[in-house]
Amino acid sequence: MPKKNVTILIIDDDEDILLSAKLLLKKHYTKIITRTNPKEINQLISSEEIDVIVLDMNYRIGFNDGKEGMYWLKHVLSINPKMIVILMTAYGEVELAVNAIKKGAFDFILKPWSNEKFLATIHAGLELSKSNHKNAILKSTNEALIKTIDQKFGSIIGKSKAMMEVMDMVEKVSPTDANILILGENGTGKQHLAREIHKQSNRKDGPFIHVDLGSLSENLFESELFGHKKGAFTDAYEDKPGRFEMAENGTLFLDEIGNLPYNLQSKLLTVLQDKKVSRLGESIERPFNTRLLFATNAPLNQWVTEGKFRQDLLFRINTVEIEIPPLRKRPEDIPAFVSFYLKYFKEKYQKSHLAVSNEALKILQSHNWPGNVRELQHTLERGVIMSDGIEISTSNFNLTSVLPATDGNNAEYDSLNLQEIEKILVQKAIDKYDGNISKAAKELGLTRAALYRRLEKFNL
């Protein structure tokens, strides 16, 4: 069996103890450092990536009160609270060692030791060290991802009256644990608003887990949300926690809640009521401490009447409703969006000199934006890419109206039924790109999966 690539530091004033420990451990681990003087700990911690420290409790002849060991334990943990420290002690000092564990030591080894017990204790300490290291990496990665997302999409943009009312509600509900239903058309920024609620909540240091329920097939629903036990179904090769467990002490955002099949709605309702989940293949109920946010662009109240959505589930998910207004209802916010995304795309495509012409800005403000903010984002990216001069002109955006005409004039968008408008827009986009789903989805500001769902919904 190959040696594990780890570094173990052993400190004891007895050279024979150090030699015995080193001979035992070097059969299994790549680097064993031994020292007789604990005063070298500072230098070693700063110069070596140490996984486990094995520390004697006494260093002066005639003293066995363990005070030196306790001092150095406290010192090490003050430098690195996650450091795994295993104490070595004589039989008569067990009570001292137990007290040290209460102070943060991982475990203790009795001298003279059993080799099996020694190795088992070291192995257990290394496993915890590896877990701590992984958690630190995950935390750093999560923080980096959040920072990247914030840099790309910034804070909620918009100073219009409609958006100020939305943000006033966000400020009121974020510190609570109330279930919130976020409403709005596609591309209005429902996921972004959910992240903002999480950032302003008392759970901001916990995870933010996003699940697109519309993209989950029925056979994956329980496994993804609630987790599964090894062997629960084909390809279940290991135990896996679900999204509810992954979002512990944080926020779980269930997007596209309207696309959840009716037969699965009762399963979700039960979990929300009981605040417990059972992984597929096991009967253990696991309580969870997670804040729930939901979002949809579907008319849920109408669907309740039509029997497509459970009324009791709707009551459960919408303690508070927040509706994001479409971009066409707040054209005064468009210049702020343009400024923000223009800065981002100029950096991305190394065109720092670019500006948007006044004429182009007027066109952007007058456009209906069926894809809302997402469409505006894609439009500005195209404008930056296609521009050759110092200004982005109207032609660089390639904005075309996809609204139906009546008597030779554009129909008034707000006067039409939303479902009808959505069907028309989907059909127009499909026709425009001769059935190319990728291009049509990008035009509409949708994912391919979301467009497929609408094609099925409208029988197109």
Q: What is the pLDDT of residue 335?
A: 93
Label residue 81 exposed, middle or buried (CB < 10 Å: 0-12, 13-18, 19+).
exposed
Q: What is the pLDDT of residue 408?
A: 39
Residue with tokens 């099996």: 116
Is pLDDT above 90 for 163? yes
Q: What is the set of domains in the chain, with CATH numbers?
A: 4-134 (3.40.50.2300), 154-323 (3.40.50.300), 328-399 (1.10.8.60), 405-460 (1.10.10.60)
pLDDT digits (tens, 9 = 90+) for 402-418: 444 334 344 444 444 56
Is pLDDT above 90 for 311? yes
Higher pLDDT, 365 or 239: 365
Q: What is the pLDDT of residue 203?
A: 93
Under the banding of pLDDT at 50, 70 and 90, the label for residue 199 is very high
pLDDT digits (tens, 9 = 90+) for 415-432: 445 666 777 888 888 878
pLDDT digits (tens, 9 = 90+) for 4-37: 889 999 999 889 999 999 999 999 999 999 999 9
Question: Cβ contacts of residue 47 below 8 Å, gap of 6+?
Answer: none
Report how far residue 456's alpha carbon sits from residue 453's, in angstroms, rounded to the nearest whole number: 5
pTM score above 0.75? no
Task: Specify whether the CB–CB gap between 58 and 27 falls below 8 A.
Answer: no
DSSP 374-404: HHHHHHHHHHHHH--SSEE-HHHHT----S-
